[in-house]
Structure 1
């Protein structure tokens, strides 16, 4: 299940996950990262913002890096440019997430290899909101 899992595996991941770190989460409501995180929060997930420029987003304390989050993380959802993803995956290893999820338009083979080598599921170029709505219903 490590690289681009099946829809059934993604559905299971989304059903089991409780906490999602959102890297690059913006406090601007019109940004995709904000809309996706708000949707996930409304669906019952705990969202933990990761953005070094913010103190809090959507009522949750923001962290500079995933590795600084004190709580367990199930999914690291990434809204960063493809080229910026390997360091994000490296930093996430400390939290041992079940998956790293690169949003639509984001993919990086180096980041995927880092995740795979550490037995972390890597999902690339997919929107977690779209998949959640499709696989688990609105």
Structure 2
């Protein structure tokens, strides 16, 4: 798939079908984008499970933090990646190793690795890179902007 541009219907389908999101790189700091995006997703009706080994067992925006994707004890529909592009291949590998493979791997603005995306897509996982769901939700579904 060409990740330079996404069809609106592709993004819309993801936003409408995803219910549980694991956010890798979630931060407890309210000034960090991952924190505000997590809160926006929660307010938009998604269950968000923060993943951050340094914060494991604590809470971020009321949700208990998992140390890794493997530590989440329920299936997740989407893995949202708030880590640098260099970490994307490792996150994809961890996601694909889960007992219940997520339907989507979504990397945040500025985060892209085409080989990691190809690996996920070969496993049947949809990929969105260099986009923010907190921008796409109001653009495609309406509602308040982030």
TM over 0.5: yes
1:110 deviates by 2.2
Query: Alpha carbon RMSD of aligned pairs, Å?
Result: 1.2
Q: Which SS does the other structure have where 1:53 is aligned?
A: helix
Whether 1:120 and 2:125 are equivalent positions in the alignment is yes
Q: Which SS does the other structure have where 2:54 is aligned?
A: coil
User: Which structure's relative contact order is higher, taking Cα pairs within 8 Å and 6+ residues apart?
Assistant: 1
* 2: CA distance, partners of 1:137 / 1:24: 27
Whether 1:98 and 2:103 are equivalent positions in the alignment is yes
Count of residue correspondences: 137
4+ residue runs of structure 1 moved beyond 6 angstroms?
A: none
1:73 deviates by 0.5
Aligned counterpart, 1:75: 78
Please say if residues 24 and 78 of structure 1, whose CA atoms lie closer than 8 Å, have aligned partners that are also in contact.
yes
* 2: CA distance, partners of 1:18 / 1:111: 23
Question: For each residue in 1:22-70, what CA deviation from the matched residue of structure 2 results, as whole angstroms up to 9, or x when unmatched?
Answer: 0000000111000101000001110100000112211111111112211
Q: TM-score, normalised by structure 1?
A: 0.94
Give 5+ residue unaligned stretches, structure 1. Answer: none
1:21 deviates by 0.6
Q: TM-score, normalised by structure 2?
A: 0.89
Give 5+ residue unaligned stretches, structure 2. Answer: none
